[in-house]
Structure 1
Amino acid sequence: MFATPAYAQAAGATPAGPEAMLLQFLPLIGLVVLFYFLMIRPQQRRMKQHQAMLGALKRNDTVVLSSGIIGKVVRVEDKEVGLEIATGVTVKVVKGMISDVRTRGEPSPANDAKV
């Protein structure tokens, strides 16, 4: 009643072969590739950099933990690190919780007293 002959003729004209399947899955494949390059690959690169940073960890390095605690490395083991967070206070920390290794030449804020 509301369908015109042109719409009725076009309804059966879609290809039903493997080309049609490829055209249906092409946007999905494109999204997977885009997701890989925008999300997975950069995360893998960050993980490799973090593992290299932890591998290069040595005594007397100043580190920042993921909780924000800053301390000096006094002992490095396979999976744990001895960290001096205050004079005479040493804690054992899992290596994976170290988020940053500070360099020695980092400038201090102007309002801090020289030690």
Structure 2
Amino acid sequence: MEGGLLGLLPIVAMFVIFYFLLIRPQQKKQKQIQQMQADLQKGNDIVTIGGLHGKINALDEGTVVIVIEDGTKLKFDRSAIRDVVNN
């Protein structure tokens, strides 16, 4: 019986290491992204996941309207915002 428990110890240790090295950091990063997307405000300079740079013109619960340099307005989902740029 004792040999069986000692045989499981490396597998359990591997799962613990896997959790702390891969799963937990990914969860923290996802939480930060969700918080950034929830904190978006009109006038923020942003970058989308496609690399489009622009300024937020209007906000809705699930969408944002972005104005790019030439005045064109584009509507995106909030989840498409990758980063808020601090100028």
Q: If the TM-score is normalised by the length of the shorter chain, which range does it land in?
A: over 0.9
Trace 1:95-106 onto structure 2 (pairs within 5 A). Answer: 95-103=78-86, 106=87
Which one has a larger percent strand, Structure 1 or Structure 2? Answer: 2
| Number of aligned residues | 87
1:26 to 3, 9, 12: 9
1:20: how far off? 1.5
Larger radius of gyration: 1
1:74: how far off? 0.5
Q: Which residue of 2 aligns with 1:80?
A: 63
Q: Which residue of 1 aligns with 2:36?
A: 53
Please tell me the residue identity of whatever aligns with 1:87: D
* Cα RMSD (Å): 1.0
1:42 to 9, 25, 29: 25
2-side partners of 1:74 and 1:47: how far apart?
A: 25
For residues 29-66 of structure 1, give each alpha carbon's deviation from its aligned partner in whole angstroms, at most 9, with x where no partner exists: 10100010001111111111111111110001000011
Which one has a larger percent helix, Structure 1 or Structure 2? Answer: 2
Give the % identical residues. Answer: 36
Please tell me the residue identity of whatever aligns with 1:68: G
Structure 2: give runs of 5+ residues left out of the alignment: none
Structure 1: give runs of 5+ residues left out of the alignment: 1-16, 107-115
What's the secondary structure of 1:54's corresponding residue? Answer: helix
Say which structure, 1 or 2, has more relative contact order (CA 8 Å, 6+ apart). 2
What's the secondary structure of 1:86's corresponding residue? Answer: coil
1:86: how far off? 3.2
**TM superposition score normalised by structure 1:** 0.71
